[in-house]
Structure 1
Amino acid sequence: MAPPQLFDVIVLGAGAAGMMCAAVAGQRGRRVLLLDHNDEPGRKILISGGGRCNFTNVHTAPDRFISANPHFAKSALSRYTPQDFIDLIAGYGIAWHEKTLGQLFCDESARAIVAMLVNECEMGSVTPGFGQPIRDVSHADGRFRVTTGAGVAEAPALVVATGGPSIPKLGATGFAYDLAKYFGLKLVEPRPALVPLTLGPDDALFRDLAGVSAPVRAKAGKGVFDEAALFTHRGLSGPAILQVSSYWRHGEQVAIDFFPQAQSGWLTEAKREHPRATMRSLLARQMPDRLAEALAEKLALAGELANQKDAALAEAERRLSDWRFRPTGTEAFAKAEVTVGGISTAELSSQTMEAKKLPGLYPIGEAVDVTGWLGGYNFQWAWASAQAAGRAL
């Protein structure tokens, strides 16, 4: 049997975090091996943002991230900012534009981001090992040993950048969690995040609205978001719903305000101004006809507004501002963009991402219990956590 190949660092996972970390460590003179079971790097990057990669968000701040320890991400995020990444892509001439809510996208293909990261790795003389499923990982005498189909590699440092189980069709697995358990690190229960919610038979009327979208204020847990909600044949989706899904727990309700900008008493005011209008026709002025029809049917206020009592209109207004859905579940990891939970931050240094119990082990990116909002925040965490580890290696 051939002797193991020796490196300073072995990075598992050639996604956003893994490639960034490998590049930083390599350019600092470390001998780095970058492994991934996929044949090509950055597969999740390529499909992100509709193929244009929503690579960061200018509004990045610690309060845009979910973690059992909300303070953990502050260190890494403060030391590698969205502007730092913008400066990096500027050096490659990658054109970009800002969409709503601070989201930055490539003008052209996400492939430009992957090509940039590959080039950064080449500048650091990183050894690529793609299309190599990992057969075994072990640790002894201060060294990590990784076995693949191509042979055995050893290094005093191991970076775990294999992400979470979201989007399994791209080869995503819970491998990082298996490694964490093997090395004795605690986990925060992983669950799907930025994921559509499913509705049961009680909400069949709304499931029949598949394809209808409307701007709303959605609430679940501590999450409150003003964006569009989309009704699907299975339940609820759209940016507002994906956002609150990260805060939603099974059995809880999701509250929707269909008129978040409306002043109190707007329905009784509408009765005075448009007495001949019906509830359906009034709602249809502000939202798609099919949604207006469904809500009017549920409110059961037939006839003209002039015939409705003010108390009934006040109750209708209350319901429209706090419409409760009780999702039966989510569309699971298959449709989840990211994972909430993961390797507990209590196990890691916020400065370097190194495991406190096992020097040389560095979990980064989505594998860790830090999850960003929709809109480029998770990429920024990938870059920032990778930089923190890469500079420490």
Structure 2
Amino acid sequence: MEVHGTCKNGFEGVRDAFIQNFEEGLEVGAAAAVTVDGESVVDIWAGDADPNGTPWERDTIVNVYSTTKTMAATCMLALADRSELDFDAPVAQYWPEFAQHGKESVLVKHVMSHTAGLPGFVPPVTAAQIYDVDAIAAQLAGQELWWEPGTQSGYHALTQGNLEGEILYRITGTRMAEWFQREIADPLGADFHMSLPASEDARVAELIPPAVNPTTADSPVAELVINDVAISMDSIAGRTLTSAMLDATEPQTREWRAAEIPAAGGIGNARSIARIHSMLACGGEVDGVRIMSEAGARRGLEVQIDNLDQVLMTHMRHGIGFARELDGWVTSPNENTMFWGGWGGSVAIVDFDARASISYVMNRMDDQLTGDQRNQRISAAAYAALG
């Protein structure tokens, strides 16, 4: 197994952690990246892009599931920084049809912090339905709340992205995938896509599904185990995770890749994720490209709730579009750090104190929804190097 790419002096520990994951049989193909002050200090990749042995190349990209949420959140932070969006405003101020069944009280910041009370779809939806963003928006507008907004968090696994995407669309008249490409990815030269052109399909690594898939609605089990907690299928967690009938093979389809799925459909690599987040970590500007003010970037740090998340069944502090703390996932020595990750193991960390970003992507999916040991090793090694 050969590791490709670059690793600056002092950051060899990140490469060692990356290699250890392969040596222990935990990887098929993967990539990791670290930036400091906007400079790339780690940009490495290795392994195979699929089970057939196709090499993972420098420009290989892969579906990163909920790490996509960090890109959607970056769009919303930028929009707020331009005074086009108010996180304290009701969602219905921008999306009048949303004000049904008591949802007049749902604020944009509730959507951003998984406290809006709409963690799943009622009734459950199929992949084909998810691809129709207008129909999904209409369904969410017509749904009833699962709890009083702002009183507790329950991970909005897919719905958060659709809610954010519709808010952005109502403000700008542009779909989030296009807005992200034009306003965030292209200016930063980042190879990350919320809607992937067919011309790029040959570069996409094949995800290898985990042994356990909690999102399959026709599961024969009576309960699921989430972060070592047994939950019933009719609990908030059970209803949320089975409200979208998906499995990990869906991102191999052209329909998924072309669709706008701001909570789970993003396709990129570690380099592109670290590049975009280096902009945030450096106060909204990197290499002379300013996307937002430093105050605007730091709004993601604003803690909205500190509680036991009713879907992930673990203690969390949610900020604006990012987590500030989640038991057993990312540990940072610096207070002003925010992060999120994706089903299967990908992760993205933004550290304002170190002016650093850390990212990891892979194609062999782990069973855990949070706390993947591979990305923990890499982030720990990065922090050891950062001192």
TM-score class, shorter-chain normalisation, is: under 0.3
Greater strand percent: which structure?
1
TM-score in terms of structure 2 length: 0.25
* Structure with the greater alpha carbon radius of gyration: 1
